[in-house]
Structure 1
Amino acid sequence: MNSSAFSLLLFTLSLILFSHAPMATLGISLYESLCEEAKQDKGRCLEILTSDPRIVGAKNNLELCKLVLELGLKKGTEAQNLLKGEMKTNPSPAIKQCATTLYDGVVGSFKSSLGELKQDSLTANYDAKVAGDGPTTCDVAMANAKITNPSISALNKEILLISELAFLATEKLP
């Protein structure tokens, strides 16, 4: 093999290796890479994900997915509990729908996605995305009932973002 052919082969192999290098070796952590994909929500994404040091230290995509889904499950449950408390002071049908049916779906979707991570990544990906349906429908129900509650809107926005992050993360699984 002549030297120019060998140089070309070496160059090609180095490009292939570089393109398959883990993000961490390029100076970008897995969670930061995920937030880059969140585009306009990057700042809020970083804020949410850095609140859990385990997410910051995730070593691979599967671990990142698991931790983001666990965060979604935790935050979804907290949101549902807050909505149930709100239901006691404002027993409107819209808040009741959010607190029960819609957030039952959020919590159930995050749980289902977690359970499918290792066996069926496509279903895990789908369930992660579907978890965002609850907060979206809750916002619509609240608007239709002409209820303005900034804390519920903020919760819905946060859960919707976590659902999107879980969807983006699970999309990377084989």
Structure 2
Amino acid sequence: MAPRNHLCLVLTIFLSVFALSPMPTIAVISRSSQVKVPLPAPSSKLVAQLCNGKSILNRRFCLKALSNPEAAAAKDLNQLANVLMKLAASNAQATLNVINYMVKQPGSPQSLKALQTCVDVYKYAIQSFGMIFAEFSEDPMTANYDVSVVGPEADNCENAMAAAKIRAPRISAGNRFLRYYSSMGSEITASVEVGTMGRR
């Protein structure tokens, strides 16, 4: 009887531990579901070409951001660049609004300094995105440089927040999107510069 009781006890403990640890099963389901999620359909051939470019940091983001009637209606790169830069500036403005709200809240001098760094980053990004379209038709090389340097600026904001121990998920998301839009702008301006994209 004793060995049988011992076996029952071991089985009971094993089943209890197994039942209380569902994490591997969740992880497997999560991983497989990520694989099955399809990419958004491109709204036009131009959008598909842009989002497949080498400079694009996040293809899914690119396709989703440009899955709108304005992007679909763009007949050439100039029109698509205009749509893209307006989206980028609007997104940057939304993040700047969040930062400005946080600046008005009580906080340490270190936090305020970090947030001011982010304010400067986003003001610069909005100004740059606003200039790109004007530069685009006249000097694609300058436009390419100006839009490319916006991405690293997002790192300045992120690093300043990390140093001040500020946890702000919406600003971090804005920084990530700033990098994505910068890569998209870099791709579209480089494509015009080398004259490849319109010929594909």
Deviations 1:90-121 (A, max 9, x none): 5421112202x211211121122122111111
Root mean square deviation, CA, Å: 2.0
Query: Quick one: which amino acid aligns to residue 98 of structure 1?
Result: C
Structure 2: stretches of 5+ with no match in the other structure: 1-43, 194-200
User: C-alpha deviations, 1:58-88, integer Å up to 9, x for none?
Assistant: 2111211121112111211222122111222
Tell me which structure has the larger Cα radius of gyration: 2
Partner of 1:73: 89
Name 1:6's counterpart in structure 2.
Answer: none
| Rounded Cα–Cα distance in structure 2 between residues aligned with 1:102 and 1:68 | 19
Alignment of structure 1 residues 112-151 onto 2, 5 Å: 112-151=131-170
Relative to structure 1, the CA distance from residue 123 to residue 40 in structure 2 (aligned partners, 3 Å threshold; closer, same or farther) is: closer
Contact 1:131 1:160 in 2 (8 A): yes
Question: 1:47: which partner in 2?
Answer: 64
CA contact (8 A) 2:89 2:130 kept: yes
Contact residue 150 and residue 179 of structure 2 kept, 8 A: yes
Partner Cα distance (1:133, 1:40) in 2: 13
Q: Distance in 2 between matches of 1:70 and 1:97?
A: 23
Shift of 1:56: 2.4
What is the percentage of aligned positions where both structures have the same residue? 29
Residue 94 of structure 1 corresponds to: 114
Q: Distance in 2 between matches of 1:138 and 1:161?
A: 15
Which residue is equivalent to 1:18?
A: none
Q: Is the 8 A contact 1:72 1:159 kept in 2?
A: yes
2:171 maps to which residue? 152
| Alpha-carbon offset, residue 126 of structure 1 | 0.9
**What is the TM-score when the length of structure 1 is the normalising length?**
0.76
Structure 1 stretches of at least 4 aligned residues deviating more than 6 Å after TM superposition: none
SS at match of 1:117: helix
Give TM-score scaled by structure 2 length: 0.67
Q: Please give the per-residue CA displacement for 1:135-174, whole angstroms capped at 9, x wherever unaligned.
A: 1210111111121211111111011101110110111114
Letter in 2 for 1:164: S
The secondary structure found in structure 2 opposite 1:148 is coil
The structure-2 alpha-carbon separation of the partners of 1:157 and 1:170, relative to structure 1 and needing over 3 Å to count, comes to: same
